[in-house]
């Protein structure tokens, strides 16, 4: 199995479908499970419950032992009063697929909101307003979360979310840590 970028556009096609579904329920101004189920849940007349976002993680990692299992962390810059700060996140909301390209997308970084004070359990996500442009054809996979109503994050929520993301990013035994949190 090769880790090189594939000619097939399965990640790009899936993100395009998420964008279309989100557009159907929101104007889109700027279980980790199946993306298909998340898309169906979002556009369902009874299943959406006000949700406007399918949070997802892009998977990469061809150059390491866990190829395709580790999330991609994008970095953006957020302005807080008179200061700017770089923020990372592996959680995204698609803003749009660029029409003049085959697979370029504008993604907004999301911040997780902890569930039951558990580090790797999330009850929701908040929008940061920070966007990045990515070439979706270079990722090996995508994992979708259940649809949520992603409101704009407060500065306090961003700081709390960054604590979770930094723990997530810095945990060399992340898969084991996530498994013990599920209990």
**Strands in the chain per DSSP E:** 56-60, 70-71, 74-80, 83-89, 92-97, 104-115, 118-135, 141-144
Question: Is 179 among the domain residues?
Answer: no
Q: Considering the domain boundaries, does residue 142 fall inside one?
A: yes
165: containing domain: 10-172
For position 148, what pLDDT does the model report?
93
pLDDT at 12: 81
The total number of structural domains in the chain stands at 1
Domain membership of residue 94 (yes or no) is yes
Per-residue confidence of the chain (183 residues) as pLDDT tens digits?
233 444 456 778 888 888 888 877 765 554 344 687 788 888 877 655 788 999 999 987 555 545 446 788 999 888 888 888 888 999 999 998 888 777 899 999 999 998 887 667 888 999 999 999 998 888 888 889 989 999 999 989 998 998 888 887 776 555 444 434 444
Tell me the two tokens of residue 114: 């902890």
**Residue 154 in domain:** yes
Q: 99 lies in a domain?
A: yes
User: Can you give the pLDDT at residue 63?
Assistant: 55
Helix axes 10-25, 35-43, angle to 10 degrees: 20
- Is the full-model pTM beyond 0.85? no
């Amino acid at each position: 199995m090769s880790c090189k970028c594939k000619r097939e556009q399965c990640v790009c096609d899936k993100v395009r479908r998420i964008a279309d579904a989100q557009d159907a329920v929101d104007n889109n101004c700027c279980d980790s499970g199946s993306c298909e189920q998340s898309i169906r849940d979002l556009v369902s007349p009874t299943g959406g419950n006000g949700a406007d976002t399918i949070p997802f993680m892009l998977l990469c990692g061809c150059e390491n032992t866990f190829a395709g299992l580790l999330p991609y962390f994008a970095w953006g810059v957020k302005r807080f009063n008179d200061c700017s700060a770089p923020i990372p996140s592996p959680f995204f909301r698609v803003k749009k697929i660029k029409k003049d390209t085959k697979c370029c997308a504008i993604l907004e970084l999301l911040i997780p909101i902890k569930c039951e004070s558990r580090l790797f359990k999330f009850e929701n996500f908040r929008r940061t307003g920070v966007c990045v442009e990515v070439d979706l054809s270079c990722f090996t996979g995508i994992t979708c979360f259940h649809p949520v109503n992603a409101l704009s994050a407060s500065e306090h929520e961003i700081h709390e979310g960054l604590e979770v993301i930094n723990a997530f990013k810095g945990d060399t035994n992340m898969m084991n840590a996530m498994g013990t949190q599920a209990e």
